[in-house]
Amino acid sequence: MSTDTSDTLVSPESNIAPNGDVIFVVGPEPRKLRVHSAILRYASKYFENMFGPHFAEGQDLGQNSPKEISMPDDNATANNEVPSRLKPDVMFHIAVAADKFDCAVAIKPSNSLWLKPDGVEDIVGLGYLMAAAYILDDATAFSEITLAMAMRHNESYLLLVRKIDCLLDYVPWERRNVLRTKLQQLLFEGSRDAGWYDDEKCTCAWASRHLLAHAKLQHDESLRPIDMHTISQALEKLDCIKDPAVPAPWAPCIRAHHDGPYYRVRRVNRLKEFQKEANGLCIDCVGGGGEGAEQACRIQHPRKAVSD
């Protein structure tokens, strides 16, 4: 492993920390990754030693003249991911420290990488990320994380209070209830795609047969009660569910033709609309007192939903 000082530009996709003081030159076909030595030291004992006072890599570091560190035997793709991902609790403590020492602006360029909820399924991990996003005043991350919490978790949020006392004021209690209500409505609308009742001209019980078949399908697929699943799990089931198996009529219908019910087409359209309207909490409304408060929100959202 060798060191050098470089003013070579780093490609945007590898510019993990635009104001970082270190550039890793990784792999046999060199790829440059710009990172923060201070953040890596906090996240890893290995980097704490590397960038400490006893090694050449830790000497004379500065963002105006980032130091190149050659790593020819390492994998560039993997090394690109490591500085991009921090454990949620580590990110939370970084946010607390950044707020305490008034240096949140310095780490802002990296927030879009460190505060992503992708791949974080554990509710405590999401809670740490949510708290970090709130402390760092990152409106986009706060909305994405609270939406992930509402979509991926179906048990009590009280588990979070054992880990982080400040979380309960911001967890998306009502947002999850709103999304569940919309999901119930989606199921309800699907059950009536063939109609609510058999009109007087129908002798094959068209609507009744379809209504009962749809109810049986929901039972067989364990879609009710809806809170047995996370919202994400229920949406995945609905996305790949088959149409209900409707029993044949007892006798031919005197009505010549029944239209539809086009279950899949209508269900796909409803799912798209649900996903389009699903949103997390607005940090400006949470911090500014709710829907009635006067503030400019950085995230677009329906005004009627901001106080959840």
- DSSP one-letter code for 35: E
Looking at the predicted structure, is the pLDDT value of residue 7 above 70?
no
- Which has the minimum average pLDDT: 19-23, 175-179, 286-290? 286-290
- Positions of E strands within the chain: 3-5, 22-26, 31-35, 67-71
Query: How does pLDDT run across 189-247, given as a tens digit for each residue?
Result: 998 888 878 877 888 888 889 999 999 999 898 888 777 889 999 999 999 998 999 98
* Exposure string for 10-34, b = 16+ CB within 10 A, e = fewer: beeebbbbeebbbbbbbbeeebbbb
Question: Is the pLDDT at 170 greater than 70, yes or no?
Answer: no
Phi, psi values for residue 24, rounded to 5° = -80, 130
Q: Count the neighbouring beta carbons within 10 Å of the beta carbon of residue 301.
A: 16
Q: Do residues 185 and 273 both lie within one domain?
A: yes
pLDDT confidence of residue 289: 52
At residue 87, the pLDDT reads: 84
More confident call, 272 vs 58: 272
Model confidence at 17, pLDDT cuts 50, 70, 90, reads confident
| CATH number assigned to the domain comprising residue 28 | 3.30.710.10
The answer to whether residue 125 sits within a structural domain is yes
- Considering the domain boundaries, does residue 291 fall inside one? no
For the chain, the domain total comes to 3
Q: Both 76 and 92 in a single domain?
A: no
DSSP 228: G
Q: What is the mean pLDDT of residues 38-52?
A: 78
The verdict on residue 150 lying in a domain is: yes
Instruction: Give a yes or no: residue 215 inside a domain.
Output: yes
What is the domain range of residue 131? 88-172
Q: How far apart are CA 206 and CA 11, in angstroms?
A: 62
pTM value? Answer: 0.66
Domain-located, residue 246: yes
User: Would 145 be classed as within a structural domain?
Assistant: yes
